[in-house]
Amino acid sequence: MQLLKRPLIRRFVIITTLLMVISSEGFAATEADVIVYGSTPSGFCAAIAAAREGVSVILLEPTDHVGAMNTGGLSHCDSNQMVRDTVMGLFHEWHTRVVKDYTDRGLKAPYNPAVKDQSRWTFEPHVAMRVTRQMLVEAGVTVLTGRYLKAVTKNGPRITSLVTKNGTFQAKVFVDGTYEGDLMAAAGVDWTIGREGRAEYDEPLAGKQYTKKKMNINGFDDEGNLLPLLTTADSGSKEAGDKNIMTYSFRLCLTTDPKNRVAMPKPDSYNPARFEIIRRYLKSGANSNQVGFDLYPLPGGKLDGNNSIGRQFSIGLVGGGNDWHTADEAGRKKIWEEHKQYTLEFYHFLMTDPAVPKAVRNKYVGLGLCKDEFVSYGHFSPALYVRESRRMKGLHVISQNDILDAPTKDDPIAISSFPIDSHDCQRIALKGGGVINEGTIFPVRKKNPKQGYAYHVPYRSILPRPELCDNLLVPVALSCTHVGISSLRIEGAWMVIGQGAGVAAALSAKEGVSVQALPYAKLRERLLAQGQVLDLPVQGNRKIKEGEQGAALNVAPRRE
């Protein structure tokens, strides 16, 4: 009997996949019970979760790449620093299916999702894409790419349609699955950007953070102008907030295997002067290990290259993403290209500049892009790593207090447990001499095992104020502070929060109620049925005061 069923299942999957392809060309339905805008890990999990609740779902993606960072090069899953047995549901299923993809092809399992330890879980981007697409197909989600949001129509506080560059779409309930909170902003929901001052939410980790050592070099040229790659000579008050956000970068999928290696593209118009500040730093006698990026081994003889939180100079373009959230489609393409240009120039500098020690130059010369990854994009990832953007000002703002002092909530939809962890936000030329990177929060986590503290993500944190919008859920650009997003900003957390948003969206659509009026008891019941974990583990003291980013919390620099 099983042998007879399998061809039918295969035909169903093939036909549904073809329908998805046809849909992306413009022949799909324009109306559904639930529309998710943005196919980030949170977005695609929201779409799958909603569809599994028996409603019709359209997933709209503004670009032509589905899956954002999960399929775009972030192939070392940072859940090794999370309390893994609390991150279940679609996150666990997705990883189980990634491993099954390998074993079904007779390959060694790269990790065991059933073992909830601190080992690294790694996979190849093309495998992540295949699994993501399969799960969307099986859930019956209509996936449409190239749907860049242009406008939102509303009737009072209710969204009625999304106008995109390629069609207008209607739904009962909407989910903003974007990193940037684009739908939220277009719908007139309150939001913020940047960093709060320390007094605003009584957060010792807010304001300016000077956790890296000062570099004893001059940050100005002979005319007194800032050197390239520096962002300011006036960082502002230590206690005050600002509009700066943590650095963006790419996750590079690399290899040393000559059979699969493609040479790193040469940058357009390489300017050696752009790296004068790094040259001065290396010539000052500094450790050359402070310049470069991190490499994590992946299956298939590959490496995941990531911006290093611990190094002074890496592949993150400090300050380069500050205007990303307000840029239109053309503006974001320009910022994306600027980040790619910086990445290629920095890589070229590492390979060729005489100031870089020969051993370091040789290390990077031996690397290249992977021939079998991102084939349609010249083997370079199409996904910019947007670590932080807009944040909603919703019914509950997750702050440092919620993570470290008061983790229990009455309306949890997920549990997050990544350390509070921020990359650089500024690179400052000090007028009295020296250069310093500012904004890094080295991981605030338990000492043993090295994982963050588990805390509830309340339903209220993904809800706008009802008078502003009553049929929208925001699981990525959710309501939190900069310190809060420094912990929430990880794909594992966003996947389970997205699942919570998807279930809530489906229930609200079926019940015909606003997302704010949805009874939590009913939502909790369905979340548990979909495999979510909502009970916090027993944990010890986690309080932190200003200046305690030290040995007591084991927050020494790491490069993940």
pLDDT tens-place string over residues 6-31: 334 333 344 444 444 434 444 558 99
Q: What is the number of other CB atoms lying within 10 angstroms of the CB of residue 555? A: 22
Q: What is the number of other CB atoms lying within 10 angstroms of the CB of residue 118? A: 14
**CA–CA dist 53, 505 (Å, integer):** 10
> Are 472 and 515 spatial neighbours (Cβ–Cβ below 8 Å)?
yes
> Are 206 and 195 spatial neighbours (Cβ–Cβ below 8 Å)?
yes
DSSP H or E stretch at residue 524: helix 520-529
Rg over alpha carbons for the chain, rounded to the nearest Å, is 23
Relative to beta strand 57-61, strand 76-77 is: unpaired
> Are 235 and 208 spatial neighbours (Cβ–Cβ below 8 Å)?
yes
pLDDT at 543: 61
Kindly state whether residue 522 falls inside one of the protein's structural domains: yes
If we measure between CA atoms, which residue out of 284, 275, 267 comes closest to residue 227?
275
pLDDT at 11: 39
pLDDT tens-place string over residues 311-353: 999 999 999 999 999 999 999 999 999 999 999 999 999 999 9
pLDDT tens-place string over residues 117-171: 999 999 999 999 999 999 999 999 999 999 999 999 999 999 999 999 999 999 9
Bond from prior residue into 449 cis (ω within 30 degrees of 0): yes
> Are 539 and 415 spatial neighbours (Cβ–Cβ below 8 Å)?
no
How far is C-alpha 136 from the geometric centre of its chain's CA atoms? 20
**CA–CA dist 133, 314 (Å, integer):** 32
Q: What is the number of other CB atoms lying within 10 angstroms of the CB of residue 91? A: 27
Q: Distances from the Cα of 189 to the Cαs of 162, 184, 470, 477, in angstroms?
A: 15, 6, 10, 11
How far is C-alpha 35 from the geometric centre of its chain's CA atoms? 21
Task: Provide CB contacts within 8 A for 513, sequence distance 6+.
Answer: none
pLDDT tens-place string over residues 458-498: 999 999 999 999 999 999 999 999 999 999 999 999 999 99
Q: Is 299 exposed, middle or buried (0-12, 13-18, 19+ CB in 10 A)?
A: middle
pLDDT at 28: 58
pLDDT tens-place string over residues 361-417: 999 999 999 999 999 999 999 999 999 999 999 999 999 999 999 999 999 999 999
Q: What is the CATH number of the domain that holds 473?
A: 3.50.50.60
pLDDT at 554: 39
Q: Distances from the Cα of 159 to the Cαs of 9, 43, 202, 543, in angstroms?
A: 37, 18, 35, 41
**CA–CA dist 535, 455 (Å, integer):** 9
Mean pLDDT of 276-296: 96
Q: What's the structural domain count of the chain?
A: 1
Kindly state whether residue 168 falls inside one of the protein's structural domains: yes
Kindly report the pTM of this predicted structure.
0.93
pLDDT at 15: 40
pLDDT tens-place string over residues 438-449: 999 999 999 889
Q: What are phi and psi of 210, to 5 degrees?
A: -105, 75
Kindly state whether residue 287 falls inside one of the protein's structural domains: no
Kindly state whether residue 140 falls inside one of the protein's structural domains: yes
Mean pLDDT of 258-277: 96
Q: Which has the higher per-residue pLDDT, 23 or 310? A: 310
**CA–CA dist 83, 90 (Å, integer):** 16
Kindly state whether residue 103 falls inside one of the protein's structural domains: yes
Q: Which has the higher per-residue pLDDT, 538 or 128? A: 128
403: DSSP letter: H
**CA–CA dist 323, 321 (Å, integer):** 6
The residue count of the chain comes to 560
Which letter, b or e, does each residue of 238-270 get, where b requires 16 or more Cβ atoms within 10 Å of its Cβ?
A: eebbbebbbbbbbbbbbbeeeebbbebbebeee
List, in sequence order, the alpha helices (H) in 53-124: 68-71, 89-104
Q: At what angle do helices 358-365 and 329-352 cross, to 10 degrees?
A: 130
pLDDT at 481: 98
Kindly state whether residue 379 falls inside one of the protein's structural domains: no
Segments forming the whole domain that contains residue 507 = 29-192+450-529
Kindly state whether residue 441 falls inside one of the protein's structural domains: no
Q: Distances from the Cα of 411 to the Cαs of 405, 418, 500, in angstroms?
A: 17, 20, 11
> Are 486 and 246 spatial neighbours (Cβ–Cβ below 8 Å)?
yes
**CA–CA dist 69, 383 (Å, integer):** 6
Mean pLDDT of 263-270: 94
